[in-house]
Structures are given as structure tokens and as C-alpha cells.
């Protein structure tokens, strides 16, 4: 689905990261871990073609990203940015309908078919009851789900989520991770970032550890998320505990 080779990325005139290579198959979930300012968001924006790559190649289903138009990219890749509050008071339904834009002609407005897609997506995320509420007046967790819904309305094959669990309470974090697993089960590829290494254990097939814009390790979570790599990544000592039955969790050492 997604192939990245020797990618160098960053802002115009400032390279943030380089030598990033990986491939993501259909139905595969990859979690990107790394410290604040480590380049996760910049990497994602580059993968989406929102920032020009500095070197290397990005291919979606074998096609180089620079040969694809914005709507062509939008029909393949859905993006869930870190939510914020500066929106106009669109209703959740109107907001999610915006996900249909890449499927519409330039002068057209969404029709019955698009409304049906939106209803289905809202149902699948369990937020159908929010449809007529303004996005400005729902909780942070609900808004995060609305952003996921909008990306799903794009009917993409790849979903890129930038810290989808940030600012969510524990229950909503788990719900988002459950949704990620379920979507992957239906064949969607998923690339997401998180501040919690446990999230990689919970639902990712692979983890990519990004430090100062370079790949520190990439592989199965239990192989790459270790005390030494977490120490490198975050500069704190962490114990990785085997819970038996395949489960793992990270326990930071906090002195008393």
C-alpha cells in the first residue's frame, strides 16, 4: 500500500529527518513512537504530500506521490490531524461530509450517496447521536472521533492518525485503539503516532522508533520496544514487563 524509501523530510530549507524507509501492507498497523519534536508530525505531513519531500521516494500503491493530484491522494489516504478547537460551528454531519470532497466534482455539493456514507461512518464509530451538534460544542474526545469519521468518509485505503489518543481520557483512548484494530481487520492500512509505547503493544504489528528524525529501530513492538531503546528515545529509565500471554507493558521508574 505505502512504500517509503530513503526519505528525507522537513520544511523548506530545513531538513528534519532522513534515511527513513519502510513499507506498509494492506491491513497492517504501524505505530510511530518518538519524543516531542522528533519529527513524527513532519514525517506524516510528508507522507500525505502536504510537505515536499527532500529526498527519497514515497509510493502509494506503486505510484509516486508527486504524480498524484490532491484529490487522488485524498481518495487513497485519510488524515486525522491532532484536533483543535478553531473550527466554525459546522454540525458534525457537515464536518464529516467534508471528507467526501475528493469524491465530488469541483462544482458539486454532496448528494444522497455521500450522506449515506456519512451516516454509515457515524454509526460505525458510535457517534450517530452527535450528527446535528456543532463540532465546537462537543467534547475533545467526541471531536477526535468526528475527525476519524471525516477521514473514514474519504473511504481511504490508508489512514494516517497523528496522536489520535492525545488529550483523550483512558476510556476514549482504548476506544480509539479498538477502532484502529477493527479497521485494520477490514483491510485498511494504518499509520499512527502515539506518546504511549503501550499503544504499540496493544494494536500495532510493527513499531517505528523515530529519534531526531532518524529510524532508531523498526520491527515487531516486543522486539524493538526495550528498556535501552526507550531510554535512548525519551531519556528516562523504563522497565518493559512481560505480562505473559503475549502482553507487554512499560513501567517508568519514578524515584520516591
Q: Choose the binding region for other proteins from 74-82, 169-177, 185-193, 213-221 (rule: CB under 8 A).
A: 74-82
Give the contacts of 64 (CB within 8 A, at least 6 positions apart): 57, 58
Residue 18 in grid coordinates: 532522513
- Cβ–Cβ < 8 Å for 234, 228: no
Size, binding site for other proteins by CB under 8 A = 39
Q: Which of 23, 26, 50, 223 binds other proteins (CB under 8 A)?
A: 50
Q: Choose the binding region for other proteins from 21-29, 130-138, 221-229, 235-243 (rule: CB under 8 A).
A: 130-138
Q: How far apart are the first and last CA of the chain?
A: 47
Contact between 247 and other proteins by CB under 8 A: the answer reads no
Q: Choose the binding region for other proteins from 133-141, 171-179, 183-191, 200-208 (rule: CB under 8 A).
A: 133-141
Contact between 13 and other proteins by CB under 8 A: the answer reads yes
Total residues belonging to the chain: 256
58, β-bridge pairs: 4
Contact between 77 and other proteins by CB under 8 A: the answer reads yes
Restricted to residues 169-208, the positions that interact with other proteins (CB under 8 A) are none
Restricted to residues 81-120, the positions that interact with other proteins (CB under 8 A) are 81, 84, 86-91, 94, 98-99, 101-102, 104, 106-110
Which C-beta is closer to other proteins: that of 49 or that of 221? 49
Binding site for other proteins (CB under 8 A): 11-13, 45, 48, 50, 69-71, 73-75, 77-79, 81, 84, 86-91, 94, 98-99, 101-102, 104, 106-110, 134, 136-137, 150, 154
Amino acid at each position: 500500500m505505502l512504500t517509503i524509501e530513503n526519505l528525507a523530510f522537513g520544511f523548506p530549507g530545513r531538513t528534519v529527518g532522513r534515511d527513513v524507509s519502510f513499507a506498509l501492507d494492506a491491513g497492517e498497523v504501524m505505530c510511530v513512537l518518538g519524543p516531542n519534536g522528533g519529527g513524527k508530525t513532519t514525517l506524516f505531513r510528508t507522507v500525505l504530500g502536504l510537505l515536499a519531500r527532500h529526498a527519497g521516494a514515497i509510493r502509494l500503491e506503486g505510484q509516486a506521490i508527486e504524480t498524484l493530484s490532491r484529490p487522488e491522494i485524498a481518495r487513497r489516504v485519510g488524515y486525522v490531524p491532532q484536533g483543535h478547537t478553531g473550527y466554525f460551528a459546522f454540525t458534525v454531519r457537515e464536518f464529516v461530509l467534508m471528507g467526501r470532497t475528493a469524491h465530488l466534482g469541483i462544482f458539486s455539493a454532496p448528494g444522497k450517496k455521500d450522506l449515506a456514507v456519512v451516516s454509515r461512518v457515524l454509526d460505525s464509530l458510535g457517534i450517530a447521536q452527535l450528527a446535528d451538534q456543532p463540532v465546537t460544542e462537543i467534547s475533545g474526545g467526541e471531536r477526535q472521533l468526528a475527525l476519524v469519521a471525516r477521514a473514514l468518509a474519504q473511504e481511504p485505503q490508508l489512514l494516517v492518525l497523528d496522536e489520535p489518543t492525545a488529550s483523550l481520557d483512558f476510556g476514549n483512548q482504548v476506544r480509539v485503539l479498538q477502532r484502529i484494530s477493527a479497521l485494520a481487520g477490514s483491510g485498511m492500512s494504518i499509520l499512527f503516532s502515539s506518546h504511549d509505547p503501550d499503544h504499540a503493544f496493544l494494536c500495532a504489528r510493527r513499531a517505528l522508533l523515530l529519534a531526531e528524525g532518524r529510524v532508531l529501530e523498526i520491527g515487531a513492538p516486543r522486539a524493538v520496544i526495550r528498556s535501552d531503546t526507550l531510554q535512548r528515545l525519551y531519556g528516562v529509565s523504563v522497565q518493559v514487563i512481560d505480562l505473559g500471554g503475549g502482553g507487554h507493558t512499560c513501567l517508568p521508574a519514578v524515584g520516591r
